[in-house]
């Protein structure tokens, strides 16, 4: 399901098909596959595998993994317990470590085998082509693929413990692992080449947590807008955990820990960070409002009381946040996301080609064959395409015919509708054009009524000229030479009883023999004529030469 990688390889292959091999059939098939890959990226939800850091400590391991840390890519929906069980089957004598902190030298130099395994989070590294916000469905691939940096966060408490608010002194010790190559690659695991550690303050941790929560709400809202058939349970749990203060406490703990005068007096350098945290809290309200709206549209009757309680809690939360931190609106982003079709597609559907009338020039070009252009084109009359003189003659002829008719028919003719008049005019123009076409056909085609060539006529082709040679006629017969047509193309009727004028091979001059006559040169019109048309008294013409 790594369709992004398949598209990259497909583009490279398409370049070969299009510009090197000119195999357009393979190119069309490849482009159809790429179109399906793009559609899958947007519509198909892919599972996100987990990544695990595995350390092999002790002198009992082989040298290529001894005292080294590797990042493994787990299988789809594989939990850490299942991965550890699969890992320990390869080293049955190894001992699993209970802590995630780096071991001391005593463990590294011991003769035993110690395996340390814990889950790490891949760090998103978007390609440079994504220079503007894009859909979460597109970005989600790069959250778990083409990643080289991984982090592991471990909470550390500093200072006095506050029983009322644990967020005030909870620091985060974050370890960053950088692998030798990006995962996944040719292997599902690569060695860690560098490790460094950073500390996150409680306020920075609160800002990061609020940012992740807002992104999670926004992403789930976008998924439900794109696919209305998604189940509602994950959305219900997410919204209820944030809106209902009895579940997780919400951001009230942040207000108690960081928005006090004591904290601001002790940490004046954190003023900008506090303002940023307030801004994130205010931005959470429109995201929650959109999520609750979608939840209300999809909730079942059994969960209606649960939804009403959630709406009541959200109303109180909204009033409080807007009073303290201001109001935020995300109409532009959410409205754009709500539309499932781009503007270009909507424009194409609202402008069908059938509603656009054809111009007069296009109608006249379509109907130049004196036939009605299309149903409903009665307003375009084809009279101007015909000569005025011929049209007036035909009109006079029809007028004379109308005078000979009965008065009742004449009155009925006057009451004809406009469509009937146009039909009459088109019928007259069609009649005139048919007469013209018949005259053209008679002058341009070979007349089939010319006299049939006698059966005894033979062909004599010598050197580069084509000549007719006929055998002598029997005595007492009339001579009727065939008419010479003005056409330059001659077609010959070759029958089975023709012979070469009685000439032997010795009488033929020493020239190369002519090419055999093609079968397509035969006059099929003469072959198909009935033999009854041939007069029995007609004898073959006298021996003469006819030049083409």
| Neighbour-count burial for 429-453, b at 16+ CB within 10 Å, e otherwise | beebbeeeeeeeeeeeeeeeeeebb
Contact 291, 239 (CB under 8 A): yes
Contact 253, 165 (CB under 8 A): yes
CA-closest candidate to residue 284, choices 307, 254, 260: 254
Determine the Cα–Cα distance for residues 428 and 548; give it in Å rounded to an integer: 42
Contact 422, 372 (CB under 8 A): no
What's the topology of domain 202-332?
Answer: Methane Monooxygenase Hydroxylase; Chain G, domain 1 (1.20.58)
- Cis peptide upstream of residue 184 (ω within 30 degrees of 0): yes
Determine the Cα–Cα distance for residues 242 and 313; give it in Å rounded to an integer: 10
Determine the Cα–Cα distance for residues 113 and 93; give it in Å rounded to an integer: 7
3-class state of residue 196 by DSSP: strand
pTM: predicted TM-score of the whole model, two decimal places: 0.56
pLDDT of residue 291: 92
pLDDT of residue 423: 53
CA-closest candidate to residue 258, choices 273, 280, 248: 273
pLDDT of residue 196: 93
Determine the Cα–Cα distance for residues 336 and 347; give it in Å rounded to an integer: 15
Q: What is the DSSP letter of 169?
A: T
Helix, strand, coil % in the chain, rounded to nearest 5: 45, 15, 40
Determine the Cα–Cα distance for residues 115 and 313; give it in Å rounded to an integer: 48
522-to-443, 451, 491, 492, 526 alpha-carbon distances in Å: 21, 16, 6, 5, 9
Determine the Cα–Cα distance for residues 50 and 72; give it in Å rounded to an integer: 9
What does residue 30 show for φ and ψ, rounded to 5 degrees? Answer: -65, -40
pLDDT of residue 399: 52
CA-closest candidate to residue 61, choices 104, 102, 96, 108: 108
Beta-strand (E) ranges in 264-365? none
Q: Mean pLDDT for each consecutive 10-residue tract of the chain (548 residues)? A: 94 96 96 96 90 96 95 94 93 92 92 95 90 85 94 87 74 95 93 95 91 90 85 90 69 83 86 91 91 91 90 90 83 44 36 39 39 42 42 48 56 55 52 45 50 51 44 47 50 44 49 66 48 45 50
Helical segments of 404-489, H only: 407-414, 418-444
Contact 223, 230 (CB under 8 A): yes
Q: Around 433, how many Cα atoms within 13 Å sit in the side-chain half-sphere? A: 14
């Amino acid at each position: 399901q790594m369709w992004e990688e398949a598209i990259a390889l497909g583009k490279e292959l398409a370049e070969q098909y299009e510009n090197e091999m000119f195999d357009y059939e393979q190119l069309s098939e490849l482009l159809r596959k790429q179109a399906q890959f793009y559609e899958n990226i947007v519509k198909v939800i892919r599972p996100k595998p987990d990544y695990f850091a595995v350390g092999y400590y002790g002198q009992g391991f082989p040298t290529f993994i001894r005292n080294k840390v590797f990042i493994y890519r787990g299988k789809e929906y594989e939990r850490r317990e299942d991965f550890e069980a699969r890992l320990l089957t390869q080293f049955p004598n190894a001992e699993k470590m209970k802590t995630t902190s780096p071991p001391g030298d005593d463990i590294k130099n011991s003769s035993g085998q110690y395996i340390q395994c814990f889950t790490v989070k891949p760090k998103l590294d978007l390609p440079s082509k994504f220079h503007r916000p894009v859909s979460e469905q597109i970005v989600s691939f790069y959250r778990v693929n083409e990643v080289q940096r991984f982090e592991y966060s471990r909470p550390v408490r500093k200072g006095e413990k506050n029983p009322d608010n644990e967020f005030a002194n909870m620091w985060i010790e974050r370890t960053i692992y950088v692998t030798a190559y990006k995962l996944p690659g040719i292997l599902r695991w690569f060695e860690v080449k560098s490790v460094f550690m950073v500390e996150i303050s409680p306020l920075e941790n609160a800002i990061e947590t609020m940012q992740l929560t807002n992104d999670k709400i926004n992403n789930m809202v976008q998924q439900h807008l794109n696919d209305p058939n998604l189940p509602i349970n994950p959305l219900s749990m997410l919204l209820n955990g944030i809106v209902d203060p009895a579940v997780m406490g919400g951001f009230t703990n942040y207000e108690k820990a960081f928005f006090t005068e004591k904290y601001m007096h002790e940490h004046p350098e954190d003023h900008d960070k506090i303002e940023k945290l307030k801004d994130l809290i205010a931005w959470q309200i429109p995201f929650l409002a959109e999520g609750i709206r979608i939840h209300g549209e999809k909730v079942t009757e059994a969960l209606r009381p649960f939804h009403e309680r959630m709406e009541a809690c959200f109303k109180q939360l909204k009033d409080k946040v807007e009073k303290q931190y201001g109001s935020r609106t995300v109409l532009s982003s959410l409205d754009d996301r709500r539309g499932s079709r781009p503007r270009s597609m909507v424009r194409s559907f609202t402008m069908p080609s059938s509603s656009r009338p054809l111009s007069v020039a296009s109608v006249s070009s379509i109907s130049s064959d004196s036939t009605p252009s299309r149903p409903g084109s009665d307003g375009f009359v084809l009279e101007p395409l015909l000569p005025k003189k011929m049209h007036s003659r035909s009109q006079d002829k029809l007028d004379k015919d109308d005078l000979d008719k009965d008065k009742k028919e004449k009155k009925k003719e006057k009451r004809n509708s406009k469509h009937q008049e146009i039909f009459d005019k088109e019928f007259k123009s069609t009649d005139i054009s048919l007469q013209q076409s018949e005259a053209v056909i008679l002058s341009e085609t070979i007349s089939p009524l010319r006299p049939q060539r006698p059966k005894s006529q033979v062909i004599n082709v010598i050197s580069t000229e084509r000549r007719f040679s006929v055998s002598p006629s029997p005595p007492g017969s009339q001579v009727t030479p065939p008419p010479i047509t003005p056409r330059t193309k001659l077609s010959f009727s070759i029958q089975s009883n023709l012979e070469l004028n009685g000439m032997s091979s010795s009488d033929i001059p020493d020239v190369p023999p002519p090419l055999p006559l093609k079968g397509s040169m035969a006059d099929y019109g003469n072959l198909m004529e009935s033999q009854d048309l041939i007069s029995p008294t007609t004898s073959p013409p006298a021996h003469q030469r006819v030049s083409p």
